[in-house]
Structures are given as C-alpha cells and as structure tokens.
Amino acid sequence: MNVKELLATTTDYFKKYGLKEPRLDAEVLLAHVLKKERIQLYVDFDQPLKADELNEYRQLVYKRARQYPVAYLLGKKEFMSLDFTVNEDVLIPRPETEELVEKLIEYCQSRNLTAPNIADIGTGSGAIAVSLAYYIKEARVLAIDISPGALKVARENISKYGLEERVKALEGDLLIPLLWMNKDNVDIVVSNPPYIDHEGMAELAGEVRREPEIALNGGIDGLDYYRRLIPQALKVLKDDGLLALEIGYDQAAAVRELFDANWTKVEVKKDYSGHDRMVFAYR
C-alpha cells in the first residue's frame, strides 16, 4: 500500500469514528512515522510503505480512533513556536495559553522588566515557564507542580532548551513552597489552573478525558484553585506585582469576586476569539 492509498483508507476509517479532522490526523501520524514534513507526503504519494512502517502506523491509527490525543501519540506539542515533550502525565498545551504568555511578555517589555522573578503554578509540561524564560532572556522562573510525573516532563523540556540555570522545577501544592521559604520577591505569579466544574467534567470530549483529571477538575464550581491561589499570591508578590490567571470563558465575574481590597486593580482580558480568558490582578 502506498502513501496515497493509505491516507485515503485511514481518512475513511477515522470518519467512521467521528474524528473532527480525519484527513489531518491521518497525515500528521503518517508524516511522523515516515519522518517527513506533511507536505512531502504529497510529493511521495506513490511511495510504498515498508512492513515495519505500516505496522507502526496501524498501531497509531488504532489508538487515535479510540480517542487518544494526537499530541500523546506523537509525544510532542508545539507551543509558542517551541516543541514540548508531552505525555499522559501533563495537560496538552492550548493556543489560548499562548495568548497568556504573549501578554506577559508584553507586560514585561512595557515595564522594562528585563530580569523578572516568575512563579508558574501548576506548570505541567513547563510550557509557560520555558516559554517565558526563552523569550525573556534574563527571567528567572520557578515551575511548581504537585505531580511528580508532570515535573519529570517539565524538567525534560527545561533541559531541552538549556534553561536549567534560570528555570527550576519544584514539587509542591500551589505557592506553599514559596510560603515556606518566606519569599516575597516575586514579580509575576502565573497559572493556568484546573477550572472545569463538575458539570463540565461530565461533558468532556473523549480525547480530553485522556488528559490528567488533576489538571482539569476545578471542583464543583470550577473555582477551587482560584480561591486558594489568590490569597497565597498576596504573600509572595512584590508591591505592584502581577497575578496572571487563565480562566474559563464564562468565569470572569466569579473570579473577579474572589479579589479583595488588597488588590489595586483587577483586569479581565479577552482571547483572540473575543472570549474572557485571562485575569490580571495587581498587588
């Protein structure tokens, strides 16, 4: 079977299982197996597959049809134009979170913060922490997560970009490690915490259910982690420091209500789709 025939067969197979982008998935997985760019598949339509290549591809196709995310099957995901290792211990980085990172880079530039101290809470794969350190050349980042499996992935991504001197992965529950150290010199606390409520958890798509529940489940109303993190951030941020949070598209009003008079300003920022997606609060 050649590339053209295999793509056609796989696309039809994926359609039967209701995948949203059957042709794209077929191409991405085959390009991965053949170690080619996707566009090269069209140049090599008539190339027959070797037995071992066909076997590897069939295994990936079988898993994808059963709702395994493509990123887990490939073992990687692009974020902020960087390649991040991912596996089932970490949440797959989303485009919406790229917007959070972009706004933080703009914030640092606007304030001439060339060497900010940053704490990334619930770092997962380290996508936020590594991206901030990569694009803000003197930033120092603590990447904190409660999951040992996630921290292993984060450390791999930190090492991949040679950032061990400026990005430290630390096991802990939210900001408790910094509270124990009595730190109060943080310029930015950033987090994409679990924020899906119980009703939303029950309605998750099959492939999202493959991602770690600890990175998704925000409690009955989705606000559990915000309730804990916001008062903790007050104790570690410098005066005029920033707490930057990703939120669900319908959570802006509820999250704003969690900030008390100790915060000088609370801003809701929209994503490129026009949805409320971030809260920036200043100590």
Q: Which helix (H) or strand (E) holds 84?
A: strand 82-85
- H runs (alpha helix) in the chain: 3-16, 22-34, 38-43, 51-65, 70-74, 95-110, 127-135, 148-160, 176-180, 198-202, 224-236, 252-256
pLDDT value at residue 1:
86
pLDDT value at residue 54:
96
Band of residue 182 on the pLDDT scale cut at 50, 70, 90: confident
Read off the pTM.
Answer: 0.93
pLDDT value at residue 179:
94
Is it the case that residue 39 has pLDDT exceeding 90?
yes
Q: What is the mean pLDDT of the chain?
A: 96
Q: How far apart are CA 96 and CA 94, in angstroms?
A: 5
DSSP-assigned letter for residue 257: T
Q: How far apart are CA 88 and CA 230, in angstroms?
A: 28
pLDDT value at residue 184:
83
pLDDT value at residue 115:
97
Rounded average pLDDT over 260-276: 94
Amino acid in the structure at residue 108: C
Length of the chain measured in residues: 283
- pLDDT more than 90, % of the chain: 98
pLDDT value at residue 116:
97
Band of residue 3 on the pLDDT scale cut at 50, 70, 90: very high
Q: How far apart are CA 241 and CA 255, in angstroms?
A: 18
pLDDT value at residue 181:
85
Rounded average pLDDT over 124-132: 98
Is it the case that residue 153 has pLDDT exceeding 90?
yes
pLDDT value at residue 77:
97
Band of residue 183 on the pLDDT scale cut at 50, 70, 90: confident
Q: How far apart are CA 101 and CA 35, in angstroms?
A: 30
Per-residue pLDDT reduced to its tens digit, 46-88: 999 999 999 999 999 999 999 999 999 999 999 999 999 999 9
Rounded average pLDDT over 94-109: 96
Band of residue 22 on the pLDDT scale cut at 50, 70, 90: very high
219-to-13, 206, 231, 279 alpha-carbon distances in Å: 37, 20, 18, 19
Return phi, psi of residue 159, to 5°. -65, -35
Rounded average pLDDT over 222-251: 96
Rounded average pLDDT over 243-253: 96
